């Protein structure tokens, strides 16, 4: 069975959606480690409640590449097939990119390439877009720039705040992330330029 590592920093609702998909037989995989860069991440409690292996590697005051080296040391013996960033609010670092080339996915709450980075829903409201959404993409050295595996759109309503828009997008995140993971784990895709296509 394919092995996942889930990298988290906070609430962990995307991690939980993946864990539920596995538990309910919608995703054929195993979570070998939930790795947080913050000790106070709620995702760690959720991992414990699911009986899943979890660990904190604090990142405060640790250089990005040094953190990545420590993460590689933890993950390499676990024979991880795919790393899934799920609300991981830090750059992953070159050592992780090198060790897991083409095997790291991220979910981002906008229709990339619009609105990379942080405060994404506020960026979307400030720009005045009528639709936003979420993107699952491979992670490369750029900021939210890797090839796109899946996207889903939602309308932006006149009455929206960043919070109401985030909640509408989150429903779609939970729906598409495990499906994108299943596609990548199946290996039935090829990357042509920036395009991820069925193989």
- Catalytic residue, from 54, 108, 137, 174: name it: 108
**One residue of 47, 124, 149, 170 binding ligand GAR per CB under 6 A:** 170
Q: Does a cis peptide bond (omega within 30 degrees of 0) precede residue 113?
A: yes
- Taking CB under 6 A as the binding criterion, the range among 9-17, 48-56, 72-80, 96-104 that sits at the site for ligand GAR is 9-17
Contact 82, 103 (CB under 8 A): yes
38 binds ligand GAR (CB under 6 A): no
12 binds ligand GAR (CB under 6 A): yes
10 binds ligand GAR (CB under 6 A): yes
**28: phi then psi, degrees, rounded to nearest 5:** -95, 90
Q: Which residues in the 173-192 window bind ligand GAR by CB under 6 A?
A: 173
Give burial (CB, 10 Å; 0-12/13-18/19+) of 101.
exposed
**Beta carbons within 10 angstroms of residue 28's beta carbon:** 12
Q: How far is the CB of 86 from ligand GAR (least distance, A)?
A: 5
Give the residue with the Cβ less far from ligand GAR, 81 or 173: 173
Residue 108 falls in the annotated catalytic set: yes
* Distances 171 to 37, 43, 111, 165, 166 between C-alpha atoms, Å: 24, 17, 15, 10, 9
- Taking CB under 6 A as the binding criterion, the range among 5-13, 47-55, 57-65, 91-99 that sits at the site for ligand GAR is 5-13
Q: Which residues in the 96-125 window bind ligand GAR by CB under 6 A?
A: 107-109, 120
- CA pair distance 75, 89, nearest whole angstrom: 19
93 binds ligand GAR (CB under 6 A): no
Give the residue with the Cβ less far from ligand GAR, 87 or 146: 87
* Distances 31 to 25, 27, 170, 192, 194 between C-alpha atoms, Å: 13, 11, 21, 29, 28
> For binding to ligand GAR (CB under 6 A), which residues are involved?
10-14, 86-87, 107-109, 120, 170, 173
């Amino acid at each position: 069975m394919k092995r996942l590592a889930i990298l988290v920093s906070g609430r962990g609702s995307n991690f939980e959606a993946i864990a539920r998909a596995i538990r309910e037989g919608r995703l054929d995989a195993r979570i070998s480690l939930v790795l947080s860069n913050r000790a106070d991440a709620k995702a760690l409690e959720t991992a414990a409640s699911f009986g899943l292996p979890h660990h904190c590697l604090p990142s405060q005051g640790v250089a990005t590449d040094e953190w990545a080296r420590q993460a590689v040391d933890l993950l390499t013996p676990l024979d991880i097939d795919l790393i899934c960033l799920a609300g991981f609010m830090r750059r992953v670092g070159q050592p992780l990119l090198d060790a897991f080339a083409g095997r790291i996915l991220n979910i981002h709450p906008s229709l990339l390439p619009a609105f990379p980075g942080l405060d994404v829903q506020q960026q979307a409201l400030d720009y005045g877009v009528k639709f936003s959404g979420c993107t699952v993409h491979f992670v490369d050295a750029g900021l939210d720039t890797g090839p796109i595996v899946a996207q889903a759109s939602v309308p932006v309503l006149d009455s929206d705040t960043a919070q109401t828009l985030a909640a509408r997008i989150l429903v779609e995140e939970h729906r598409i992330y495990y499906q994108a993971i299943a596609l990548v784990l199946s290996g039935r895709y090829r990357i042509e330029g920036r395009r991820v296509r069925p193989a």
